[in-house]
Amino acid sequence: MGLTTTLLAFDTSTERLALALFAPGGPWCVDAAGGALSSSALLPQAQMLLARAGLRLADLGFIAFGRGPGAFTGLRTACAVAQGLAYGVGCPVVPIDSLLVVAEDARMQASADERIPFDIGVAMDARMDEAYAAVYRWQCGAWQTLQPPALLTLPALNAAWADVALHAVAGSAWSAFGERLPVPGGVPVFAETQRAAALLRLASQAAADGAGIDAADALPLYLRDKVAFTTQEREALRAANAAAVPALQRTAP
């Protein structure tokens, strides 16, 4: 089933901001600097993307966001902006597994044979000698989750994948940890190349499959308990919540 309406998707779970738009004449995709810049850059970038397509926020049929796992402030920013915009537009939101975005990007790089199951492990640097990790299978044109996202120490990750036959791995953990994180079975390691495009493919399919939910039900996927915020984090969260709806009001008819 194909998507027949417009969709805006964004992910701020990593140090890169991924932003994409599905609309007539598109798609449009932007991979830009993220991290601490995401809270201030997300809305202006989204408005510029819509302007390129000749659209307004009010024209959107879905808003998709990377729900995590990933950086706490980035997840909260994406969820808050998605909720604020969706409330104003009156459209559903589509939460997307941020680790699956990495798997989808790697699948396209690997040119995986559609007739053969493609199993891939994703591990992203979570700092503090830990990784956000999951295992997925691409088969018959759809993704399956074999091991759901988890926050693991390096020894725990090695143990979790010890008996799993993978065709590839992907993510930032190998560049971050080097030899401390052996590549299972010597399979290829894929670095991300087109995160926004991968996000858009997943979001468009999820929306077409009926995965949209009410904005009030949208939640980030936190895998690490957060007990305190830095001053910068508090300001980022306050700005994300405060900016979303006013920005919509300025651009909607």
Residues of the chain with pLDDT under 70: 1, 35-37, 39, 225-253
Asked, as a colleague might, if the bond just before 69 is cis with ω within 30 of 0, I would say yes
Long-range contacts of 126-131 (CB under 8 A, 24+ apart): 126/69, 126/151, 126/223, 126/224, 129/153, 129/154, 129/177, 130/154, 130/224, 131/157, 131/171, 131/173, 131/177, 131/181
Residue 1 maps to a domain? no
pLDDT for 246: 54
pLDDT for 39-72, tens place per residue?
678 888 899 999 999 999 999 999 999 999 999 8
Residue at a domain's end among 190, 209, 241: 190
> How far from 92 is each of 28, 103, 229, 251, CA to CA, in Å?
20, 25, 30, 19
Domain assignment of residue 106, yes or no: yes
Q: Are residues 124 and 182 in the same domain?
A: yes
Q: Is the dihedral of CA 241, 56, 215, 68 positive or negative?
A: negative
pLDDT given at position 231: 55
Alpha carbon separation from 15 to 20, 125, 230 (Å, rounded): 16, 11, 18
pLDDT tens, residue by residue, 54-63: 999 999 999 9
pLDDT at 242: 52
Question: In this structure, are strands 189-190 and 130-139 parallel, antiparallel, or unpaired?
Answer: unpaired
* Domain region containing 206: 7-97+195-251
Cis peptide before 253 (omega within 30 of 0): no
Of 145, 164, 190, the residue at which a domain comes to its end is 190
Same domain, 156 and 220: no
Q: pTM of this prediction?
A: 0.88
Number of domains in the chain: 2
65 HSE (CA, 13 A, CB side): 33
The dihedral through the CA atoms of 197, 53, 68, 179 has a sign that is positive
What pLDDT, on a 0 to 100 scale, did the predictor assign at position 239? Answer: 53
pLDDT of res. 1: 47
d(CA 243, CA 39): 9
Check residue 228 and give its pLDDT: 46
Domain identity same for 77 and 116: no
- Tell me: do 103 and 186 sit in the same domain: yes
Q: Which one of 190, 209, 238 terminates a domain?
A: 190
Whether 47 and 159 map to the same domain: the answer is: no
Identify the pLDDT of residue 186: 84
Local structure of 152: helix, strand or coil: strand
- What CATH number corresponds to the domain at position 174? 3.30.420.40
Per the CB < 8 A criterion, the answer to whether 120 and 239 are in contact is no
For residue 89, CA distances in Å to 12, 213, 240, 251 come to: 21, 14, 17, 11
Tell me which H or E stretch contains 15.
none
Residues 85 and 32 in one domain: yes
pLDDT, position 21: 97
Q: Identify whether residues 162 and 131 lie together within a single domain.
A: yes
Position 203 in a domain: yes
pLDDT reported for residue 243: 52
